[in-house]
Amino acid sequence: MKSFIRKRVAAYLIAGLLCMLLGSTKVSGAVPNKLVVETLRLNGNWTLKNKNGSLTLTAAVPGCVHSALLKQGLIQDPYYRFNDLEYRWIALDNWTYSRTFSLSSELRKRKKFNLVCEGLDTVSTISINGVAIGKTDNMFRRYTFDVTGLLKENNVIEVSFLSAVAYAAQQSAAHTSYKVPPDCPPAVQKGECHANFIRKAQCSFSWDWGPSFPTQGIWRAIKVEAYDVFQLTYLTTTPVYVSKNPSINQWSVEVELFFDVAEMAVGHVTLLIPQLETQKTFEATLQPGLSRSTFLLPINKSMPVEPWWPNGQGNQSRYKLGVMVKTAGGHTLEAQTMVSFRTVELVQEPVAGSPGLSFYFKINGRPVFLKGSNWIPADAFQDRVTPDVLRRLLQSAADANMNTLRVWGGGIYEQEEFYDICDELGIMIWQDFMFACALYPTESSFITTVREEVIHQVRKLKSHPSIIIWSGNNENEAAIATDWFNVPLSKRQIYRNDYVTLYVNNIREIVQNEDKSRPFLASSPTNGDESVQEGWIAQNPYDPHYGDTHFYSYLEDCWDWKLFPKTRFASEYGFQSWPSFSTLQKVKYPSSSLHPDTPSLKSEKQYQPCNHGYYRYQSADYWMMCFDVLLPLLSVSPSLCVCAQVMQAQCVKMQTEFYLRSRSEIREGKGHTMGALYWQLNDIWQGPSWSSIEYGGKWKMLHYFAQNFFAPILPVALEDEEILLIYAVSDLQKDVSLSVVIKVYQWNSMEPVYVFASNSTEVQAGSATLAYKEPVKELLGRCGNCTRRSCLVTFHLEESGGQLGPANYHFLSSPKQAEGLQKPKLSVLLKRFSPLATVEQQGGQYTVNLQTNAISPFVWLDAGDISGRFETNGFLMLTKNMTVTFYPWIPTSTSQLAKSLQLTSLMSLS
């Protein structure tokens, strides 16, 4: 008891000290007369002018030119109809931001002044009081300019931007020794050229799912920092796990403090984590200039440390770490950050029964199957991406049982709130560096700015436990290996050398120096260690025996699992669909029925090459099923939007389930799949794409399907040589004994014609286990008059008589060939009109009561413009009555929801 009391007293004392030290969460502290750094933030309203002065307006900072013009009513919504083309002039002009600011007499007494620019987009010259202080050429860098001696009581700052389009063209033209492809995007994308010559979001020059908006502006914070002795520029934490004795788990935290020092200072650094009763003080000497101080804080051995786990694997534990720096001269700096304890290992080792190497992640020593998607920028204009927008998208990922997102290399390094939310939700991040689908120059100036970019981003982001891997680029190893750009054989070595120079000798070198706690890959896809052995560019980076793969096939049957690569890790795969009709209408198409051949669709919102993507699905069996049901439908209507989402959802479901069940088996030397990240999670605007969440946050049918196929435990079926196989796929942390319950239905009846429960099968934690196997012919032989066309199979898993995980289904033929599939009478009404089908409010959510008179595949509820999500959607309705919960994200009412609600199923789309 005395020991317990001593520990509690110690904890209270440390907690009290932390409260005194950390009265503010900001690095710039709050101790009178001992303040190290004072900050004058320059966010807010600036004046914005174009090059010839014909436009002058007020512009918000952070922000961009397009947003300022829109807010002042000088342009319409850039996403409206053809405005991405109509407003091209904005990106071709040069723009200048300016404002005045004042310094108090007290602030002017400081000895050192820095202008800190967290994000300038992209090529600019900065001046203060008419004196040029520096230039920028990289939107991903933090720029710090010494402005000591330039500042007065009243000051004028100007940031003059050069058109990113013009700059990229100039840089390309100056590179005369050899071409660096690609010059321009495909013509169908309506984009700008030479994106690879500027350190800017590559997709801002257009992509196959998004528009060309090469923005200019001050897109992140800008401020003046004043101090006398030193300032803290970065504070990073890295958990270090030590286990010399198997019976003792010991953690330490490596804390790095990066300083900009004006004059030498001697003092002490105190680090403390009150929750773990841990504190230690270190001596420190700060030399003038930029410096790094590293300290190792051992965690109190008597305190249990709760590790950080991915979503679905455990808790996302985080601890506050306090820092106090105190010099002999009485200068004090206080800061705090969060630290999480977790380890990550990328395992690449021989696989029994297979050539090649494994490719999977261990988190805290536990193999984890990575389930999730790929993230692109949530808007072409980053000032519109608020913390609420990020929260909704990331919460939607977690709600769909995802544990991983890949931040794709053609976009941006996301804002701090993005990674904070991922830390909180347990969403692991595969972090690309921002290079994608192109070759890049390697002149010294380009390498220099890239090095500064990488150093900054790693230091800024490395403390986040959610980030589990750094990857050098998107698809550039494959671009060289498979000769995307038709490079003559005699010149290919030039580009291979450039590749190694950029991603290996520079980016990899920096990452290994700055962050030894995570693995690094030079590219995605890649063969990993095998690519390294082959000089960093493998002969076939898509080899399923190694690394990760990207796979797309639109001309083959997406129902046929034998066409999918049995890869070690699937980091990209997917199918397109239209967004909902209500989302399309937000960009104000000219009619309520939109023909896909109209210019507004083919040119404005659909930038995928090869017949603009839309017709690419018509050869797939599932897409043809939709057309068989809908013909003679000729226009983009609500029905076609739903049907396209059915196709997308079912195709991605089939492929994802293939990867999920491949985790524990090797077939023909392939398998042991340990990751499925489909392309893509979110949209950048209101157009057809591969996303599962529409622009604005609305879930497509695919996202509802993901909620099931990424469930912690689920049954998955396939047919192989006329034999039905059902696997139990488990991400649970314990072994379970499960039986498979099978129900066979005739399409024309809502009563099963056959019900069967298998014997129990032991399913190990984190595995896919074959739980049922039977020839289809034998199964149907016990079901009366069932045939492949007249019947379907549903199934679920049970533990001790109770259902565990979602139910699933297996179509014995394509629904377009189904016999007895009827057009159902689906209904949902207000309670006062009907006691059988109702919409009712229950607290902050709503229940929607459905009824049908026939089996209804892919029942779809659409709440129109009422923002929110349903508990489930796109489901197979096998009962006459069903209740579904709606979770609104905005205030609504029973009558509003009932009025907006639309209810369809596959057979009612025509």
Residue 806 structure tokens:
């979602």
Residue 730 structure tokens:
């488990």
The active-site residue out of 192, 334, 530, 572 is 572
Q: Which secondary structure element, helix H or strand E, spans residue 704, and what is its range? A: helix 701-709
DSSP assignment letter at 288: S
**CB-based contacts of 325, cutoff 8 Å, min separation 6:** 36, 232, 257, 267, 268, 269, 284, 332, 333, 334
Report the distance separating Cα 701 and Cα 815, nearest Å: 18
- Residue among 167, 158, 159, 172 at smallest CA distance from 92: 167
Asked if 647 contacts 623 with a C-beta cutoff of 8 angstroms, the reply is yes
Three-state secondary-structure class, residue 540: coil
Residue 753 structure tokens:
């014609």
Helices marked H in 725-831: 776-781
What angle do helix axes 701-709 and 638-661 make, rounded to 10 degrees?
Answer: 20
**∠ Cα 471 473 475 (to 5°):** 120
Q: Is 657 a catalytic residue?
A: no
Residue 317 structure tokens:
């534990």
C-alpha gyration radius of the chain:
29
Asked if 569 contacts 542 with a C-beta cutoff of 8 angstroms, the reply is no
Report the distance separating Cα 10 and Cα 458, nearest Å: 35
Residue 375 structure tokens:
């993230």
CA separation, residue 380 to residues 118, 385, 416, 819 (Å):
19, 9, 18, 47
Q: Is 475 a catalytic residue?
A: yes
- Strands 354-357 and 360-363, sheet pairing: unpaired
Residue 417 structure tokens:
């709130």
H, E, C per residue of 368-425: ECEEEEEECCCCCCHHHCCHHHHHHHHHHHHHCCCCEEEECCCCCCCCHHHHHHHHHH
Output b/e per residue, 159-190; b: 16+ Cβ within 10 A.
bbbbbbbbbbbbbbeeeeeeebebeebeebbb
Phi, psi of 633 (to 5 degrees): -65, 130
Asked if 252 contacts 240 with a C-beta cutoff of 8 angstroms, the reply is yes
Residue 846 structure tokens:
């709503």
**CB-based contacts of 315, cutoff 8 Å, min separation 6:** 306, 308, 309
Q: How many CA atoms lie within 13 A of 167 on its CB side?
A: 24
Residue in the block written with tokens 């790929």:
374
Residue in the block written with tokens 């099978």:
742
Three-state secondary-structure class, residue 502: helix
The active-site residue out of 414, 475, 514, 657 is 475
* Cβ atoms < 10 Å from Cβ of 65: 26
Helices marked H in 520-559: 529-533
CA separation, residue 335 to residues 22, 236, 297 (Å):
7, 11, 16
**CB-based contacts of 832, cutoff 8 Å, min separation 6:** none
| DSSP conformation letters of 861-889 | EE-TTS-EEESS-SEEE-SSEEEEEEEES
Residue 652 structure tokens:
């991605």
- Peptide bond preceding 525 in cis form (omega within 30 of 0): yes
Q: How many CA atoms lie within 13 A of 437 on its CB side?
A: 18
Residue 401 structure tokens:
């049982």
Residue 725 structure tokens:
């196989």
Q: Which secondary structure element, helix H or strand E, spans residue 478, and what is its range? A: helix 476-481
Q: So which residues are the catalytic ones? A: 475, 572
